[in-house]
Amino acid sequence: GDKTFTEVPDVLRMSGGTPISHLHSCALGDLNHDGFVDIFGGRGTGYNGTSASLRDLLFLNNPNENHYLAVQLKGRTSNPNAIGARLELHGDWGVQLREVRAGEGYGIQNSLTKIFGLGDSTSISKLVVRWPSGIIEEILAPDVDQFLTLREGDSLGEEAFTLPVISSPLEASVVSGDPFSYRVSTSNLSLSYELGQAPAGMTIDAESGVLSWISSGEGIQNIEIRAVNPAGTTTETLAVTVSLAPPPPDFATAVNNSELVFLNTEDPWFVQSQVSRQDGQALQSGDIGDDGRSYVETSVDGPGELEFWWRVSSEENYDELVFRVDGAQVQNISGETDWELVSYRVPEGSHRLRWSYEKDGSISRNDDAGYLDEIFWAATDSDGDGLPDDWERENFGSLSSEGGDDPDGDLSDNRAEWSASTDPNDATSSLRILQVTRNEEGGSAVIFQSVPGKQYVVEASETMEDFKTVTSPITADGVTTDVPVQLYVPGSTGEVIYVAPDAEGRVYVPNQSIGDLWKGGNEEGFADSGGDQDWINVTQGIGYDQNQTRYDPFIGTDLQTQMYRERATAYLRIPFEITNPAAITSLSLDIRYDDAFAAWINGVPVARGNTRDGELDWSSTAPSSRPDIQAVEYATFDLGDYTGALRAGGNILALQGLNRSTSNRDFLLQVRMRGDESEILRPSGYYFRVRVVE
């Protein structure tokens, strides 16, 4: 030839002869092992996804009488796949070159087996392999028409070797129970690897030097590793530190489920209180960059029913929150969504449930996060004995035990043991009250045996019959739980408004820090520091709206002059009265806000929405804007856990309202605080029992 290339059009055709107009990418390799290179053509999309209308294509090369040599390299000192190796094939045609590459086109990798076409030549002078390690090997006169596997060093004589020098680090670590993998590597060529002293179950691949082991126990394991070649054997000691796994993250209150055990990623999900469905807490995905993913997962034994609430705030159609079961995608959401309920029937067997926030290669929008709340899981009772199948298998190894059986003879049948999370095979494992104390005001304290993470309620009765629940669910954090109990006259409950939406208060738009005394709890100290002398009297709500009249019905005091293009934060203090905090059986905060808020009762933080993490100061801003359509609807926060902050007599509800920036054209903060009160019951005697929440 004239050492030039000539374009040959329309080489690839459909079976009917029609030329192929478009291939997104193609990969080369001998797919049917006949010595002739074939082509796999991808008809994908711009992001290397599957085409919705065009099938991928396979072009099988028609063999003929010509000859070939196929070579597959296996590295030892070099990487196992010999990426970066260069092959030279010498013959009467001259020299042919091939390189082993990791990737050669858009989204593809060609076969690592290199094919040399020999035409009608029936002999080869030599094959020269230049390994990435620098080793050069020559194979003289290899036969044609063969698949040759060559391991690094196979063709070298003994004189080419020196004693192996183990160069891989001699310290490693693993979490107990996790798979351990470690590759013994040498700075010069070794032909095989061996294990000497090693933990039970540890193996080594003699060819690659890869150690494999399912770790166990705790402490340091000293492992004898050996590298061998014709010049001799070198032995070193590898010290592997085995540590216990950290405790799983405590997500029980955030997802309203104390039964499931979760695993997290390196960019972990976390509990936060800015975005939740209704109870003030939910999980949020970790902070990740482009092409990143943050997931949380748990395992369950099916069959069973799964329900959960989720939402996402992301770049629509590109960044998404995905629910997967055993790695397969079940459902995904993207963009700016509201809370959505998902129901899924988990099939029989052990399954891994994963919620994963996944980003593409560019651009972030909105919160750039996924949220998860209120996970409900109930294992199926396939034999109808009142016991979940997974509990029966865990405790008895099969479904043979009945709900009414009492294998440990402690007078609690299997249904009661399952409900209490006690061991049905251990008579000393039981649910019982250890102590009850009472006071003259009608209050009591109940101390009972508990299982950490399990939820309980206390019930009371005057007659040992018709027990009534007298506490909200209590999540135990130890083997005993001490809970205060207050009893009320049946039918006496009524709603009370403590702070009305048009209540009067005092407002301050700060231009510098004034400390924290304004949040309440120390009115004398607040007065000594200047008090509210620079504050203005207001009627709820507070805010302004330049764009439209949507917020006008909720604004009792306009703050446009004080805030627009001046300040992004306003402080609001509202006094309110409580007659008897012990009579309060529920407490809620309803709030309309744009764009963020934080609230305190007598200096105790009780709620916040759409704020940045950490402490707020006088110049804090909201991290994102809140849609007007959401801002005018009450967001309700359950403050039942904060009734202890209330005082008989005067109290202060303090709020900080935050705008996205000083240039925002609207702002709104209006609050209502309400609760239920009941008449306190003071009977001469009554009985308690503890029940596990189903």
pLDDT at residue 266 in the model: 78
Nearest CA to 370 out of 344, 331, 326 is that of 331
Alpha-carbon distance of 16 to 14, in angstroms, equals 5
Q: Average the pLDDT over 439-464 and give the result.
A: 77
Residues 6 or more apart whose CB falls under 8 angstroms from that of 463 comprise 687
Give the phi and the psi of residue 326 in degrees, each rounded to 5: 55, 35
Q: How many beta carbons lie within 10 A of that of residue 590, not counting itself?
A: 16
Per DSSP, the residues of 80-110 read: TT-TT-EEEEEETTEEEEEE--S--BTTB--
pLDDT digits (tens, 9 = 90+) for 190-222: 999 999 999 999 999 998 899 999 999 999 999
pLDDT digits (tens, 9 = 90+) for 272-302: 999 999 888 999 999 999 999 999 999 998 8
Secondary structure of 577-626 in HEC code, one letter for each residue: EECCHHHEEEEEEEEEEECEEEEEECCEEEEEECCCCCCCCCCCCCCCCC
Could you tell me how far CA 9 lies from the centroid of its own chain?
51
Residue with the two structure tokens 């009142």: 386
pLDDT at position 345 over 80:
yes
Q: How many beta carbons lie within 10 A of that of residue 477, not counting itself?
A: 11
- Mean pLDDT check: name the lowest of 212-226, 426-440, 510-524: 426-440
> Hey, is 387 helix, strand or coil?
coil
Tokens of 120: 């009608």
Give the phi and the psi of residue 293 in degrees, each rounded to 5: -150, 145
pLDDT at position 450 over 80:
yes
Alpha-carbon distance of 513 to 508, in angstroms, equals 12
Nearest CA to 255 out of 419, 482, 453, 389 is that of 453
Alpha-carbon distance of 297 to 323, in angstroms, equals 10
Tell me what percent of the residues of the chain surpass a pLDDT of 90: 61
Nearest CA to 687 out of 392, 464, 376, 427 is that of 464
The identity of residue 635, as a single letter, is: A
Same fold for the pair 171-243 and 431-486+683-694:
yes
- Mean pLDDT check: name the lowest of 91-100, 440-449, 454-463, 467-476: 440-449
Torsion from C-alpha of 265, 270, 274, 276, nearest 10 degrees = 80
pLDDT at residue 23 in the model: 79
Alpha-carbon distance of 620 to 597, in angstroms, equals 11
Element containing residue 307 per DSSP (H, E): strand 293-313
Nearest CA to 105 out of 31, 10, 27 is that of 27
Domain 495-677: CATH class, spelled out: mainly beta
CA distances to 151, 209, 403, 604, 687 from 186, rounded to whole Å, are 16, 10, 61, 62, 74
What architecture is the 171-243 domain classified under in CATH?
Sandwich (2.60)
CATH classification of 252-379 is 1.10.3720.10, yes or no?
A: no
Q: Average the pLDDT over 495-515 and give the result.
A: 95
Assigned CATH topology for domain 431-486+683-694:
Immunoglobulin-like (2.60.40)
pLDDT at residue 430 in the model: 67
pLDDT at residue 622 in the model: 93
pLDDT at residue 560 in the model: 93
Average pLDDT of the residues of the chain: 89
Could you tell me how far CA 482 lies from the centroid of its own chain?
33
pLDDT at residue 694 in the model: 55
540-555 in b/e burial notation, b at 16+ Cβ within 10 A?
A: bbbbbbeeeeebeebb
Domain positions in the chain are 25-156, 171-243, 252-379, 431-486+683-694, 495-677
455 or 221: which leads in pLDDT: 221
pLDDT at residue 409 in the model: 86
**537 bridge partner residues:** 506
pLDDT at position 122 over 90:
yes
The pairing of strands 67-74 and 147-151 is parallel
Tell me what percent of the residues of the chain surpass a pLDDT of 70: 96
pLDDT at residue 24 in the model: 81
pLDDT at residue 47 in the model: 61
Alpha-carbon distance of 272 to 313, in angstroms, equals 15
pLDDT at residue 418 in the model: 78
Residue 519 exposed, middle or buried by CB count within 10 Å (0-12, 13-18, 19+) = buried
Per DSSP, the residues of 629-677 read: HHHTSPEEEE-GGGGGG--SEEEEEEEEEE-S-TT-SEEEEEEEEEEEE
pLDDT at residue 441 in the model: 59
> Hey, is 252 helix, strand or coil?
helix
Taking the model in full, what pTM does it have? 0.47
pLDDT at residue 104 in the model: 81
Alpha-carbon distance of 31 to 12, in angstroms, equals 17
Model confidence at 439, in pLDDT bands (50, 70, 90)?
low
Residue 2 exposed, middle or buried by CB count within 10 Å (0-12, 13-18, 19+) = exposed
- Mean pLDDT check: name the lowest of 9-18, 170-179, 240-249, 641-650: 9-18
pLDDT digits (tens, 9 = 90+) for 22-75: 778 889 999 999 999 999 988 876 666 677 778 888 889 989 999 999 999 999
- Mean pLDDT check: name the lowest of 130-144, 255-269, 367-381: 255-269
Residues 6 or more apart whose CB falls under 8 angstroms from that of 77 comprise 131, 133, 135, 152, 153, 185, 186, 187, 188, 189, 190
Residue 603 exposed, middle or buried by CB count within 10 Å (0-12, 13-18, 19+) = middle
CA distances to 25, 115, 413, 686 from 39, rounded to whole Å, are 10, 13, 67, 83
